[in-house]
Amino acid sequence: EIEPYSDFTTEDFCLQAGIYIEKIFKTQRVPIIVGGTNSYLEKLVEDPVFMFKYKYNSCFIWIDVEQSVLNRRIDMRVDQMVKVGLVDEVRKIFIPDADYTKGIRRFIGVPEMDRYLREETNIDRDYESKQMILQASISSIKRNTRMLICNQLDKIQRLISEKTWSVYHIIATAVFKEYLDEAWTNTVLQPCLDILKRFPKTNHHNIIIECT
């Protein structure tokens, strides 16, 4: 657990990841590192201080979704988050003139709500005006999330082309079109399990796998 107002640096991530990787290996299991930003993963793998590439044989799996489908999913997901209390969550940590470059306040969804939270208690603003500001804040969250994804895609391509990472590319668009458990199993889970089963015996890389 990390303090919400402290920065969890790439060095912090590498140190924590190293500890848990070794713990998992001791139980005769395979560590799986998921999520986060590619900056964290790149630091873990490439930094010579942590010796990751020399200690471990890594299998990189990139689960990708068609951009237009992903954009619709982002919009729907943000709307769902708003319905279940996104504004209330941000309101709890809102402080005027807070530093949005550190800790939890730099996450997408927090700085975008700043203007609305400032204006919602303004007695000189009518309800309709406040709702317009809220909708603009929500639109900013969606736009910034899409921009983040584009940046992440650029990073992945750079890791493949410049850092020569061997990456298995799983195209999971069908999961977001069908919303069925079978789609997840057939398109993502089973192909990933098959890759992991073959991994110790093969050096194939940058293979695109698309299940329909």
Q: How many domains does the chain have?
A: 2
* In the predicted structure, residue 37 carries a pLDDT above the cut 80: no
* In a shared domain, residues 95 and 140: yes
Parallel, antiparallel, or unpaired for β 60-64 and 167-171? parallel
* In a shared domain, residues 94 and 140: yes
What is the reported pLDDT for 174? Answer: 87
What is the reported pLDDT for 198? Answer: 84
What is the reported pLDDT for 7? Answer: 82
In a domain, 202, yes or no: no
In a domain, 209, yes or no: no
In a domain, 183, yes or no: no
pTM value > 0.85: no
- Enter the DSSP assignment of 24: H
Q: Buried b / exposed e across 107-122, counting CB within 10 Å, b at 16+?
A: eebbbbbbebbebbee
Q: Which of 110, 130, 151 is the last residue of a domain?
A: 151
What is the reported pLDDT for 118? Answer: 92
Provide the domain limits for residue 81. 69-151
Q: How confident is the model at residue 201 (pLDDT cuts 50, 70, 90)?
A: low
**Segment 182-204 mean pLDDT:** 81
* In a shared domain, residues 76 and 134: yes
Cβ proximity of 156 and 39 under 8 Å: no
In a domain, 159, yes or no: no
* In a shared domain, residues 46 and 96: no
* In a shared domain, residues 78 and 138: yes
What is the reported pLDDT for 36? Answer: 65
Q: Which helix (H) or strand (E) holds 120?
A: none
What is the reported pLDDT for 203? Answer: 46
* In a shared domain, residues 140 and 91: yes
**Mean pLDDT, all residues of the chain:** 87
* In a shared domain, residues 85 and 34: no
| Best CA proximity match to 105, nearest among 89, 120, 118, 126 | 89
To the nearest whole percent, how much of the chain has pLDDT over 90?
59
* In the predicted structure, residue 204 carries a pLDDT above the cut 60: no
In a domain, 103, yes or no: yes
* In the predicted structure, residue 206 carries a pLDDT above the cut 70: no
The residue assigned the tokens 């208690």 is: 121
pLDDT digits (tens, 9 = 90+) for 38-87: 889 999 999 999 999 888 888 999 999 999 999 999 999 999 999 999 99
* In a shared domain, residues 75 and 144: yes
The contacts found for 205-208 with CB under 8 angstroms, 24 or more apart, are 205/166, 205/167, 205/168, 206/160, 206/166, 206/167, 206/168, 206/169, 207/168, 207/169, 208/169, 208/171
Beta-bridged to residue 60, according to DSSP, are 167
* In a shared domain, residues 90 and 129: yes
pLDDT digits (tens, 9 = 90+) for 117-150: 999 988 888 999 999 999 999 999 999 999 999 9
**Exposure of 138 by Cβ count < 10 A (0-12 exposed, 13-18 middle, 19+ buried)?**
buried
* In a shared domain, residues 140 and 94: yes
* In a shared domain, residues 90 and 23: no
In a domain, 119, yes or no: yes
Beta-bridged to residue 208, according to DSSP, are 169
Give every strand in the sheet of 167-171, ordered side by side. Answer: 60-64, 167-171, 208-210
Beta-bridged to residue 210, according to DSSP, are 171
To the nearest whole percent, how much of the chain has pLDDT over 70?
92
What is the reported pLDDT for 147? Answer: 94
- Enter the DSSP assignment of 36: S
